[in-house]
Chains A and B, each alone.
Chain A
Amino acid sequence: MDNSMDVGYSADDKELKFVGKRTNRPDGVDKVTGRARFGADARLPGMLYGKILRSPHAHARIISIDTSKAQMLSGVKAVVTRDDFEDRDSEFVPAGEMMVNYRDMVRNIMAREKVLYDGHAVAAVAATSITIAKQALKLIDVTYEVLPHVIDVVEAMAPGAPLLHDDLFTDGVEPKPTKPSNVAKRLEFNMGDIASGFAGADEILEKTFDTKPVHQGYIEPHSCLASFSENGSAELWCSTQGQYLVRAHCSKLVGMEISKLRVTPSEIGGGFGGKTVVFIEPVALALSKKTYRPVKITMTRDEVFRSSGPTSGGNVRVKIGITKDGKIMACEAELKYQAGAFQGSSVQPGCMCAFAPYDVANVNVIGWDVLSNRPKVAAYRAPGAPVSEYAVECVIDELAERIGMDPVDFRLKNAAKEGTQTAYGPKFGPIGFVEVLEATKALDHYKIPLGPNQGRGIGSGFWFNIGGETCVNLNVNEDGTLTLITGSPDIGGSRASMCNMAAEELGIDVGLINPIIADTSVLGFNFLSAGSRTTFACGLATIEAARNAIENMRKRVAQLWDIPLDAVVWEDGAARPASSNAGVFEPMTLPEIAKIAPKTGGPIAGHAEINAQGAGPGFGTHMVDVEVDKETGHVKVLRYTVIQDAGKAIHPSFVEGQYQGGAVQCIGWALNEEYVYGEDGRLQNSGFLDYRIPLASDLPMIDTKIVEVPNPNHPYGVRGVGETPIIPGLAAMSNAISNALGLRMTELPMSPPKVLKAIKEAGV
């Protein structure tokens, strides 16, 4: 950190009063009473309802769009198409820390030359009722020239595959290609010499795995309410993980200055990475701009599945060589990920994470970013890592079994530690993989005997975690209570953690702090709630703001007592003389200082405007026991334990919650979830009935073990925890089923028909 405050971790043994405790959740009562307002819960006078017309074709040229009949329908106030959005140059520009290609984005929110997936937006209307809006869509005439489509990643890479963009040339291959293709990019990460690594190996295993696209599955559909004023400014209410990014993208796409667009995040009903991008928001703004009336757009569940940002399906080939006593000598992988209709899959982090948990001298990873006629992918928790680490962890497990080594011991033998060189560049700082594996070994779960057709599997994984731009204000109110203003939406209880940290710093009761998550007009830029950054970065900024407030209060008291600033200390919620040498003064509590603030210079606050650095990587291991019914192919999850390093669990209940939620998403991804496409390239299972996420009746309790290896770059040692839980479970489930059946399936999901097929083919 380059600012003057010391924000490193201090390992002193002072007993913490709030950090680490299961304090009350400030927004909890509103959420259990139905009072909390989510995306679709807002309304404004004069509000219109927006509906979007979407392509019924996976791939087609748009010949013409005729909206005249729709415009004449009584009750229709505005219609927008591609003509209402200005085209952009193709270039990757930073949009608040993300690299964005606005030419792709403007086409994703409203198709221009072509529709590139079933569900691609083509036009939109705003009308006085939903019924009229739906009728209006039927009156819009679109003439399409249907084109052949391609979905599967391997097929999309093949020469002669239907081409999505005739101006896309593969980046990262030499010589530069002269013909366009669906392959946007080739990446390579190289370390050491894998040929000699494999030459020194006693056992080598190479396997290829296939996964299907899945959706983040948030229960709350995207929803927004846009209101344009005649003065050229606008307000936008939306369900999002990052209101500042929504502001950045929308102001660009709609053509307005950033300061004129005020974005308020609603409470968010799940995101998991899928609400880090815009879909309907620029459209609602464009409709509102035409009518100067508020326009509300809410996606249906069908639209969420078809037209938001589900993840890549992937094809991953992994080859690992080990010595007969279990040392990994060389690792090779080739990852092919679907990016969807526009470039930018998570193949890069997928490549970086693949072998990162292990200390290996020789690594080669190649990645391909491949377009196909599906929605442009968005992040799903740790984007890219679940699929690559799934493949790696399955191969590792088989190799361990081949040499008769316990799978946890095998991972321990090769585990990355502080100072281990990663294949993607840096050496690790202090990390907790060894501690997580040792905790795994010590679990009672590990000792439970298994019965027939039962199997136990483990898997491990890691995510980098990030920091990023964060602004926090801490206002001291006249009565000695505080208002803590932060800018990253609370997806899973983070505002409680912020209050814990602020209360700890100030030495006051956590109940005196009221947290607010502010709209974009209140604070400077805040990066989104993603990347497992909220508790880390927002926490860091909260601590800095608290320390800043403390310093301001000490200044007031020092002036009042007429002694130097450094003669005043802050302890247990009050300013005190540093020693008897400073003089005899009664300590002044925070409420006392607040009460006389007008007399000592005015309102008191603490600020932080930072770019939080030093996020600590989080390692996790999952252990799962399953039972396979060989007649139906049904897999029952008997026991599941998540072991993960949190650095420091600021609020243990919410850390456990992240572990449990991620584990169950792994179970769904491993056993049932997949996008099923028809021959026509259309999505066949766009609802929760046929896109089967886990139910309460599918699952056992999910046990958790929080390991704490402090991150030295955070005062309380915090490491992000939100994303790592989505990684280890895919391999853990595959390894468990493998052990139960005595055969290895190499594709996900391992749904009953597929399990039955595998059993039949293997004759077990």
Chain B
Amino acid sequence: MAGGETEMEVEATSVRQIFRHLQERFPNIKSHMVDDISVAIDGSVFQDAWLKKVTENSEVYLLPRIGGG
């Protein structure tokens, strides 16, 4: 989806802003971004956390949504 790119730097102060930047750079990812994934910020996993703040050197991972049974 991201044309093979797996690591990149983005300017943003919140998860929502990160998503917006990535959506702009990779138009194909649009709907997946919004609904289908979780975000790990410096180790802690967040699901549905658009407003979560990220700081200057935060390491952010996008990962599949986790569920349970």
Contact = CB atoms under 8 A, between A and B. Distances in A.
Contacts of B44: 426, 429, 613-614, 713
A613 B63 contact: no
A611 B66 contact: no
Interface in A586-627: 611, 613-615
Given A93-B35, A611-B48, A614-B44, A466 B68 contact: yes
A613 B43 contact: no
A92 B63 CA distance: 17
Contact of A382 (B43, B63, B69): B69
Interface string B47-69: 11101110000010111111111
B40 interface: yes
A348 interface: yes
A531 B69 contact: yes
Given A426-B43, A429-B44, A466-B47, A2 B52 contact: yes
Contact of A425 (B35, B48, B52, B61): B61
A555 to B, nearest CB: 27
A383 B64 contact: no
A613 B67 contact: no
Contacts of B36: 92, 99
A94 B35 contact: yes
A2 B46 CA distance: 11
Given A92-B35, A352-B64, A426-B63, A468 B69 contact: no
A530 B69 contact: yes
Contact of B47 (A93, A348, A467): A467
Contact of A613 (B42, B46, B53, B62): B46
B22 interface: no
B69 A379 contact: yes
A181 interface: no
B45 interface: yes
B68 A98 contact: no
Nearest to A271: B69
Contacts, number: 95
Nearest to A420: B43
Given A276-B69, A382-B69, A99 B47 contact: no
A93 B66 CA distance: 16
B69 A381 contact: yes
Interface string A136-147: 000000000000
Interface in A450-474: 463-469
A531 B47 CA distance: 13
B66 A466 contact: yes
A273 interface: yes
Contact of A530 (B40, B62, B68): B68
A349 interface: yes
Contacts of A31: none
Nearest to B6: A190
Interface string B7-21: 000000000000000
Q: Which of B36, B46, B53 has the most CB of A within 10 A?
A: B46
B61 A349 contact: no
Interface residues of B, number: 24
A448 to B, nearest CB: 34
A247 interface: no
Interface residues of A, number: 45
B66 A429 contact: no
A553 interface: no
A181 to B, nearest CB: 21
Contacts of A425: 40, 61-63
B61 A98 contact: no
Contact of A99 (B35, B42, B69): B35
Contact of A615 (B45, B59, B69): B45
Contact of A273 (B51, B64, B69): B69
Which residue, A346, A463, A464, A532, has most C-beta atoms of chain B within 10 A? A464
Contacts of B64: 348-349, 352, 424
A249 interface: no
Interface string A510-533: 000000000000000000001111
A464 B64 CA distance: 12
Contacts of A346: 69
Contacts of B47: 97, 466-468, 611, 613
Nearest to A532: B68
A426 B69 contact: no
Contact of A349 (B42, B43, B48, B66): B66
A690 B66 CA distance: 34
Contacts of B68: 273, 379, 382-383, 463-466, 530-533, 723
Contacts of B35: 92-94, 99
A466 B65 CA distance: 10
B43, B51, B53, B65, most chain A CB atoms within 10 A: B43
B67 to A, nearest CB: 6
Interface in A338-374: 346, 348-349, 352
A352 B47 CA distance: 16
A273 B69 CA distance: 4
B23 to A, nearest CB: 17
Contacts of A468: 47
B40 A466 contact: no
Nearest to B46: A613
B67 A379 contact: yes
A427 B44 CA distance: 8
A378 interface: yes
Given A93-B35, A531-B67, A723-B68, A613 B49 contact: yes
A691 interface: no
Interface centre among B42, B49, B61, B69 (most CB of A within 10 A): B69
A433 interface: no
B12 to A, nearest CB: 16
B48 A97 contact: yes
A85 interface: no
Contacts of B42: 427
Contacts of A429: 43-44
A632 B18 CA distance: 61
Given A424-B63, A425-B61, A2 B51 contact: yes
Interface of A: 2, 92-94, 97-99, 272-274, 276, 346, 348-349, 352, 378-383, 419, 424-429, 463-469, 530-533, 611, 613-615, 713, 723
Given A97-B47, A352-B64, A531-B67, 16 more contacts: A92-B36, A93-B35, A273-B68, A380-B69, A381-B69, A382-B69, A425-B40, A425-B61, A425-B62, A426-B44, A464-B45, A465-B68, A468-B47, A469-B48, A613-B49, A713-B44
Please give me the 9 A-B residue pairs with the lowest Cβ-Cβ distance, nearest first: A273-B69, A531-B68, A379-B69, A426-B40, A425-B61, A425-B63, A383-B69, A530-B68, A427-B43
Interface of B: 35-36, 40, 42-49, 51-53, 59, 61-69
7 contacts: A382-B68, A383-B67, A425-B63, A611-B48, A613-B49, A614-B44, A723-B69
